[in-house]
Amino acid sequence: MQLVGGSYNLGHLYALMDSLGSFLPWLSAAMQIWILAVMWRRSLFARFPLFAAYIAFVTLRAIVGSLFLSHQELYFFFYWTTAPLEVALTLLAAHESFMKVFGNFYLLWWFRFLFPSAIITALTYSGCNAYIHPPVNANPVGMAIISAQMASQYVILGISVLFFSLIKFLNIRWKVYEYRFVLGFGISALGMAFAGALRSEFGTKFTFLNEMLPPVAYLIALLVWLSAVRETEVQAGPALDDRPSPRELMQELRYHLRIVRTFLKKG
Amino acid sequence: MSITLFLPFLFGVVFFVAVARTAFNRPRRRKIDSVIPFVRKLDVSELEVLMDAGEEWSLRHFLTEDAFRLAQHERIRLVGEYLRRVAHNASVIQLWMSGEYEPIKHKDRDKLSEKEALILELLQIATELRIYSMGALLKVWFWKMFRVDRWPARLVPGLTDLRVTCGVNVCDKYRQLTQIASALSGTYGQSCQEKLLSAL
């Protein structure tokens, strides 16, 4: 009886997983369209072009991908050709918010060079490493994409941690869009990283968690982004004609750097 | 727990702590009236004595090993308390100055008034002191955690080393902070200046 009950419970779990698995992508797509609509209404496309492009891309990818679901080979080709683009857009969109808050640091040639090159090096290394040493019976290109995707989640987490730590330390004014966008990316990346780690450590032991963690984390991220775009920001930023000139930005940067240099000289 | 599982766990904890600290402890711009009640009293000359090399040398050489360890334990606790006050006051003043800095941040540096130049200087000193206190408090935390006062007497670290951390001399910098803060508060009236001076 116990066995029967046990298998009944397991069957129930698989049925729940199936229904959740087919429901979550549609819910996500609907929320993505909602985010795009709110961004359009509030004219946020021009302010966050990469974030808007990322949301539009993942929405389009989900819709087009669902059309190919019955054609296995076509879906396989479509999925793996668009996956690197999604990785790149996710990184660029998270980076966009970082740049908006700490933009004046980008006036430095070495920062402009160092920050993106550190990200590119981490992704290239993990991708190349997986391509050169793929597991037995695995496609090297697919492994390289998966590996780069996993590395990109850690890069996004790193950007998020750096973003919030710098904001706290430098007491920077609360900026609702940028903060919540980065928070969303961080939550989604954390879900992916945890699922990847569980899969890598325990194999198929926690299939439910492995499969459910990333979409649920992404759904939470979508809720955070939706709450951001729906929010009316007070003093969102200087008006177009009121924006600081490059010279003024350079002055502000020099001031911030003076603090850093004081330490470097004395230290 | 293997590194594969530990890494996302560690990232997750650090991420949520960073987010929670930013979101739930959101900095509120302070005016001078809300700075005075929040700063904590700190006599910098007492901190100076605590970090004095001569004082420490006397304790090491004229006390018995056990008595020195006991004294150093108390001194480490005391210096931790003083450093927390430095960090707190620097943070309160940094918040006050961040609000004052906002309207002048894009202004031409050559055209700044005397008050505006002082705002920039005070903001810089407060930031430096926050970096200093982070480094110094980390050291003190380490000493307390590993109970360095119980180590052999010659291995017990001296508080003199704390005087200059990350290239900042805490006593000099804190004096500068109070002087400039006092000068700036003077622009809000004599009573503000007196209240802030007695509070710091």
Map tokens 């979101």 to a residue: B23
DSSP state at residue A236 = -
B124/chain A closest Cα distance in angstroms: 6
B178/chain A closest Cα distance in angstroms: 18
The ranges assigned to domains in chain A are 2-232+245-266
Amino acid at A6: G
Question: A155 and A190 in contact (C-beta within 8 Å)?
Answer: no
Q: Which residues of A touch B108 (CB under 8 A)?
A: 248, 251
Tell me the pLDDT tens digit for each residue of A140-186: 888 888 888 888 888 888 888 888 887 877 777 677 788 899 999 99
Tell me the pLDDT tens digit for each residue of B128-155: 888 788 888 888 898 888 887 777 777 7
Say what the pLDDT of residue B23 is.
78
Shortest CB distance from A193 goes to which of B8, B109, B167? B8
What is the rounded average pLDDT of the residues B164-174? 80
Question: B178 and B199 in contact (C-beta within 8 Å)?
Answer: no
Question: B131 and A263 in contact (C-beta within 8 Å)?
Answer: yes
Beta bridge partners of B168: B165
Say what the pLDDT of residue B108 is.
73
User: In three state form, how does the secondary structure of B137-170 look?
Assistant: HHHHHHHHHCCHHHCCHHHCCCHHHHCEECCEEH
What is the rounded average pLDDT of the residues A230-237? 62
Tell me the pLDDT tens digit for each residue of B23-36: 777 766 677 777 88
**Distance between CA A216 and CA B104 in Å, rounded?**
44
Q: Which pLDDT band, with edges at 50, 70 and 90, does A54 fall under?
A: very high
Shortest CB distance from B26 goes to which of A160, A174, A252? A174
Mean pLDDT for chain A overall: 79
The angle that helices A109-132 and A72-101 make with each other, rounded to 10 degrees, is: 160
Q: Which pLDDT band, with edges at 50, 70 and 90, does A239 fall under?
A: very low
Highest mean pLDDT: which range of A123-132, A187-196, B55-64: A187-196
Say what the pLDDT of residue B18 is.
86
Q: Which residue of A164, A188, A224 is the best one to mutate when testing the B interface, meaning the one whose CB has the most B CBs within 10 A? A: A164
* Backbone torsions φ then ψ of B165, nearest 5 degrees: -130, 140
- Which of B167, B146, B163 lies closest to B73 in space, CA to CA? B146
**CB contact set of A204 (below 8 Å; sequence gap of 6+):** A210
Interface list for chain A against chain B, based on CB atoms closer than 8 Å: 154, 157-158, 160-161, 164-165, 167-171, 173-174, 179, 183, 186, 190, 193-194, 196-198, 200-201, 244, 248-249, 251-252, 254-255, 258-259, 262-263, 265-267
Question: B95 and B28 in contact (C-beta within 8 Å)?
Answer: yes
**CB contact set of B49 (below 8 Å; sequence gap of 6+):** B55
**Distance between CA A55 and CA A86 in Å, rounded?**
10
ipTM exceeding 0.90, yes/no: no
The domain A2-232+245-266 is placed in CATH, from the list 1.10.3470, 1.20.1070, 1.20.1250, 1.20.1260, at 1.20.1070
**Distance between CA A101 and CA A167 in Å, rounded?**
9
Beta bridge partners of B164: B169
Q: Which residues of B touch A262 (CB under 8 A)?
A: 124, 128, 167
Could you give the percent of chain B with pLDDT greater than 70? Answer: 95
